[in-house]
A = this chain, B = another copy of it.
Amino acid sequence: MNSVTLLQPQKIIFGEGVIEQLAGDSLIQRAQTVLFLVAPPLVPILEGIIQSSKFSNKQVKLVAYRFLGEPTFSQFNLLLDEHKALKPDCVVGVGGGSVLDCAKLLAALINHSQKLEDIVGMGLLHDRKTHLICVPTTSGTGSEVSPNAILLDEETQAKRGIISPFLVPDACYLDPVLTVTLPPKLTAETGIDALSHCIEAYTNKFAHPTVDIYALKGISLIAEYIQEAFENGSNMNARSAMLLGSMYGGLCLGPVNTAAVHALSYGLGGKFHIPHGLSNAILMPKVLKFNMSASLKRHADVARALGITISGTDKEVALAGINKIERLSKACQIPQRLTEIGVTEDDIPELATIAMNVTRLLKNNPREVSREDTINIYKNIL
């Protein structure tokens, strides 16, 4: 069995209403100064929590996150400059992937001599001195448990990853109640993103038994509940399952990470500002069809986790799984083609160039991907 490094928050608290426990968290109780970075819709809830007597002897600053779309290098640096003087000993992020990624980077850099530019890439952050708690309000990125943060480099329009064990939060609170107001469109797109984390980890060249159990559990939870969460957002069973599924996707990111779906998605996000989950949703079926020959058995396992029960060859089962992903995606009204989201054939060469540069993820793909393969995949989904 290969070696593996499993990273996750030392404490994961999951369940309806667990946000109520946040004020009593030992990291907050030990802190003197707490900085909250909060997605705007959640600000009233967090304001209520901060009123608790548990904060009476602390300095607390609540910052409403104000950027739209993928956060950029300069937006993050602005945030950092604005709040550096506070010297918090605990940062709490409450929101979707962008908010959590910024909160993670704030905790890393706010009491630290390294600059953002020093830590872009793998394993370059030396330390984190500030405690970090994440509270996700979408079921998608899994950032609350992962060592990853993604920012947009505005100069090159490329998304860049900052990956470090020190970006894994110390604790996270997974409260499905906070995800209930997430609109159907975002529920679907972020849900497919979480599904793609699990599938790209399980079919990964560096798949590992310790990560497989997270991947398969995540796939089955999301496949069973994504349509219900999309159609009936107040169904707490569905919201709970999606939030757990997304956590399992996040647990796959550190030790194994994603592959070609995410690499091919980078240009769509960076250049065309297409939401990350949406671009992954459009790409995933075609990339899986391209990949499956490299590992029919693993793609059939994915299909069974997706709920496929037909008997047949691994190839037949795997294909039925890919069809099921397409069915779920359509049932959640996710566009199926690039032209529906404003991308034309002329854009493909540049998209392929961006994708081929994401070697950090392409190296994980079960089948080698050439520039020509990439162009063919994009053409197939025009």
User: 1/0 per residue A215-249: CB within 8 Å of B?
Assistant: 00100000000000000000001001100100000
Segment touching B, from A6-14, A152-160, A265-273, A291-299: A6-14
Q: Which residues of B contact A2 (CB under 8 A)?
A: 15
Contact of A12 among B6, B9, B12 (CB under 8 A): B6
| Also in contact, A13 and B18, with CB within 8 A (given A26-B127, A213-B217, A244-B210) | no
User: 1/0 per residue A302-326: CB within 8 Å of B?
Assistant: 0000000000000000000000000
Copies in the complex: 2
Q: Which residues of B contact A165 (CB under 8 A)?
A: 10-11, 26
A113 within 8 A of partner (CB): no
Contact of A213 among B8, B213, B240 (CB under 8 A): B213
Q: Is the CB of A4 within 8 A of B10?
A: no
Q: How far does the alpha carbon of A210 sit from the alpha carbon of B248 in the complex, in Å?
A: 10
Q: Quick one: which of A4-39 are within 8 Å of B by CB?
A: 4-18, 26, 30
Q: How far does the alpha carbon of A313 sit from the alpha carbon of B3 in the complex, in Å?
A: 40
A106 within 8 A of partner (CB): no
Q: Which residues of B contact A170 (CB under 8 A)?
A: 10
A281 within 8 A of partner (CB): no
Q: Which residues of B contact A13 (CB under 8 A)?
A: 3-6
Q: Is the CB of B5 within 8 A of A8?
A: no
Q: Is the CB of B6 within 8 A of A18?
A: no
A207 within 8 A of partner (CB): no
Number of A residues, CB within 8 Å of B: 34
Contact of A11 among B1, B5, B30, B217 (CB under 8 A): B5
| Chain B residue with the shortest CB-CB distance to A243 | B1
Q: Is the CB of B6 within 8 A of A209?
A: no
Q: How far does the alpha carbon of A280 sit from the alpha carbon of B108 in the complex, in Å?
A: 45
Q: Which residues of B contact A282 (CB under 8 A)?
A: none
Q: Is the CB of B210 within 8 A of A1?
A: no
Q: How far does the alpha carbon of A214 sit from the alpha carbon of B6 in the complex, in Å?
A: 14
Q: Which residues of B contact A209 (CB under 8 A)?
A: 244
Contact of A3 among B3, B7, B15, B237 (CB under 8 A): B15
Q: Which residues of B contact A241 (CB under 8 A)?
A: 1
| Also in contact, A1 and B237, with CB within 8 A (given A12-B6, A30-B127) | yes
Q: Is the CB of A16 within 8 A of B30?
A: no
Q: How far does the alpha carbon of A197 sit from the alpha carbon of B302 in the complex, in Å?
A: 29
A168 within 8 A of partner (CB): yes
Contact of A7 among B5, B11, B127, B240 (CB under 8 A): B11
With a 10 A CB-CB cut-off, give which of A2, A7, A10, A12 has the most chain B CB atoms. Answer: A10
Q: How far does the alpha carbon of A6 sit from the alpha carbon of B6 in the complex, in Å?
A: 15
User: 1/0 per residue A105-145: CB within 8 Å of B?
Assistant: 00000000000000000000001000000000000000000
Q: Is the CB of B10 within 8 A of A3?
A: no
| Chain B residue with the shortest CB-CB distance to A214 | B213
Q: Is the CB of A10 within 8 A of B12?
A: no
Q: How far does the alpha carbon of A1 sit from the alpha carbon of B225 in the complex, in Å?
A: 14
User: 1/0 per residue A244-277: CB within 8 Å of B?
Assistant: 1000000000000000000000000000000000
Q: Is the CB of A14 within 8 A of B3?
A: yes
A-B contact pairs, 6 of them (CB 8 A): A3-B17, A4-B15, A7-B10, A9-B10, A10-B170, A14-B210
Q: What are the 3 closest A-B residue pairs judged by CB atoms, nearest first?
A: A3-B15, A6-B12, A1-B240
Known A6-B14, A8-B8; 11 more pairs at CB < 8 Å = A1-B16, A1-B240, A1-B244, A2-B15, A5-B11, A5-B12, A6-B12, A7-B10, A7-B12, A30-B127, A210-B244
